[in-house]
Structure 1
Amino acid sequence: MSRKVIITCAVTGSIHTPTMSPHLPVTPEEIVAASVGAAEAGAAIIHLHARDPLTGKPSPDPKLFMEFLPRIKQQTNAVMNISTGGGLAMTLEQRLEAAHAAQPELCSLNMGSMNFGLYHIVDKYPAWQHGWEKDYLEATRSGIVSNTFEQIERIIREVGMRYGTRFEFECYDVSHLYTLAHFLDRKLLTPPLFVQTIFGLLGGIGAEPEDLMHMRRTADRLFGKDYLWSILAAGRHQMNLCTMGAIMGGNVRVGLEDSLYIGKGALAKSNAEQVSKIRRIMGELSLEVATADEARDLLQLKGGNAVAF
């Protein structure tokens, strides 16, 4: 039976740094172009972070978000999904600034505190374009990404309940699925849940097929028919696990936030290139790709006319 697969594209993120790829969007103009290209290639949802246009460092500044959000909206019908994860070492208040300013249809929400290791990447690069990059990555050796029960509840109440924003629940491990079930049981959330299971980041679950199947089985048991499943896999695992997940009934996420590559040893030249590739794969599997409005219906979003940009 034909079904619709939602493609999300995460165009820049806060993990990779400018030294790692000349194609990583940094300025508002580059983020607009990347987002429009991804939407035209078939992405229904665009997941967004902001960066300092001079240095490429992740930034929580809502003014930077407002330099690209209205322009993307003018040029596409895509759902814009604003990060509440922000960047490493940002406070919760900083991470929520853009969501408060934009009141978007969709926000990401990490479902737990975790080690988030990027320090192992440092040795791959003998020189850096900007002084902040190496220290930013090295800091993950001793730091954590914080999303306590209290912080998660604040995000749900301050963003979800206040603005009618729904969430992409980012689950990096099995425990995060149980945390999500906890908030559902407390009736702080209403279905359908958009559950993004994330594989292959140091500190989270691995990227083996067995890991993906275990996350799927657990989510099925906890949420039954009350959720839509999506798959995000880091680096070289991106296309393989997204394909496997789609075969198993999932939606997919690609983009330069998650992987800088289009194939073995080949940097992706754009986000659209990754979207086009996963869309071709979906077509070969006889899976139909959802439009932005179909994604809105599936996720029960409030609509693009109800945002603050």
Structure 2
Amino acid sequence: MNTTGRKVIISCAVTGATHVPSMSEYLPLTPSDIRTQAIEAAEAGAAIIHLHARDPQDGRPTPSPEIFRQFVPEIAEATDAVINITTGGSTRMTLAERLAYPLLAQPEMCSLNMGSMNFSIHPVAAKIQSWRYGWEKDYVEGMEDMIFRNTFKDIKHIMLELGGKGTRFEFECYDLGHLYNLAHFVDEGLVKPPFFIQSVFGILGGMGADPENMTVMRSTADRLFGRDNYHFSVLGAGRHQMSLVTMSAIMGGNVRVGLEDSVYIAKGVKAESNAQQVRKIRRILEELSFEIATPDEVRAMLGLKGRHEVTP
């Protein structure tokens, strides 16, 4: 997109399905915690709020529509942020489970992983001395032998089912080939610009957090789609979060932060909330003379259907 006078989109991924409770006491687990942290992040400047659900009893990821309903409508009522619901869920969920709530809610946005992949944080298990809940250790160690599945047929199904209801996508690209997968679906006529491309760096199984990889992703997206047809955004996992998303803004892109992506605010210091990360990146961006996009500006930039078209 033309960068003249542009504004930067801040997305916030509030809890995710990868980090486990033992990794941070600040990770929101209950509907109340997720709701509170999401609202605070929106108030801090996040225009897009990306949401997963967790079982309030032990914090494990869940696709349950009943649990989603305990916080999503209240977030929508309390903020004007764009609500972005995961279709990725976790590696333990079936496609039907992952789509259970999105198909009911028909949100303005959903995340969409652009391919099957090894996706793991299993080396983290060796660093955790005490586990808060019994399910966590097997969950983290088990990632070594798990594949996140999103076949071409799965992706097509999601595009048809949700795209047919006016939902647009955060295309999560963990590798260069994922851009080519998106280009395939563009050629098939299943998605149309403007595309919101979330490049993911630093996840084991995907691209490493090397700045050079960002340049390759950006130039490849330019070649495949044309810069005027997409918005580039970056997610940096773990310790790479702030440096990589800042680089994204400098390269004409957008940023994503949140406890789904990193449980830290600085080296060795845990973030106490999602809003703390949003405030930090907003301060960095504003000190670099970038303006922050509002939710309604994001709706216009991404061609979203608007809040009035979303099922309560």
What band does the TM-score fall into relative to the shorter chain? over 0.9
- 1:41 equivalent in alignment to 2:23: no
The TM-score normalised by the length of structure 2 is 0.98
Indicate the residue corresponding to 1:212 in structure 2: 214
Tell me which of 86, 89, 103 is aligned to 2:89: 86
Give the aligned partner of residue 30 of structure 1: 33
Q: 1:92-147: per-residue Cα shift (whole Å, max 9, x none)? A: 00000010111100000000000001111100111201111011111111110000
- CA deviation after TM superposition for structure 1 residue 308, in Å: 0.8
Q: Please name the residue that 1:53 is paired with.
A: 56
Match of 2:10 among 1, 7, 12: 7
Match among 181, 188, 191 for residue 190 of structure 2:
188
**1:78 Cα offset (Å):** 0.3
Counterpart of 2:200 in structure 1 is 198
Counterpart position of 1:274: 277
The aligned counterpart of 1:157 is: 160
| 1:58-85 CA distance string (max 9 Å, x none) | 0000111111011001110000000000
Counterpart CA distance in 1 for 2:65 and 2:90 is 14
Moved beyond 3 Å, runs of 4+: none
* Structure-to-structure mapping, 1:1-309, within 5 angstroms: 1-161=4-164, 163-224=165-226, 225-309=228-312
For 1:260, give the aligned amino acid.
V
Once the two structures are TM-superposed, the CA of residue 299 in structure 1 deviates from its matched residue by 0.4
Cα distance between partner residues in 2 of 1:106 and 1:170:
12
Q: Give the superposed CA RMSD.
A: 0.6
CA contact 2:194–2:229 (8 Å) conserved in 1: yes
SS in 1 for 2:28: coil
**In 1, Cα distance between the equivalents of 2:160 and 2:70?**
27
Q: For each residue in 1:8-51, what CA deviation from the matched residue of structure 2 results, as whole angstroms up to 9, or x when unmatched?
A: 00000001111111100010000110000000000000000000
Per-residue CA deviation, residues 206-232 of structure 1 (Å, 9 max, x unaligned), is: 101101111111111111121101000
Please state how far the C-alpha of 1:2 moved relative to its aligned partner. Answer: 2.7
* 1:184 positional shift: 0.4
Q: Percent identity?
A: 59
Uncovered stretches (5+) of structure 1, i.e. residues with no partner = none
Q: Deviations over 1:219-258 (max 9, x none)?
A: 1111112110100010000000000110000010000000
Aligned length, in residue pairs: 308
8 Å CA contact retained: 2:91, 2:149: no
1:2–1:286 CA contact under 8 A, matched in 2: no
Counterpart residue identity of residue 205, structure 1: M
Structure 1 residue matching 2:69: 3-state secondary structure: helix
What is the letter of the counterpart of residue 207 of structure 1? A
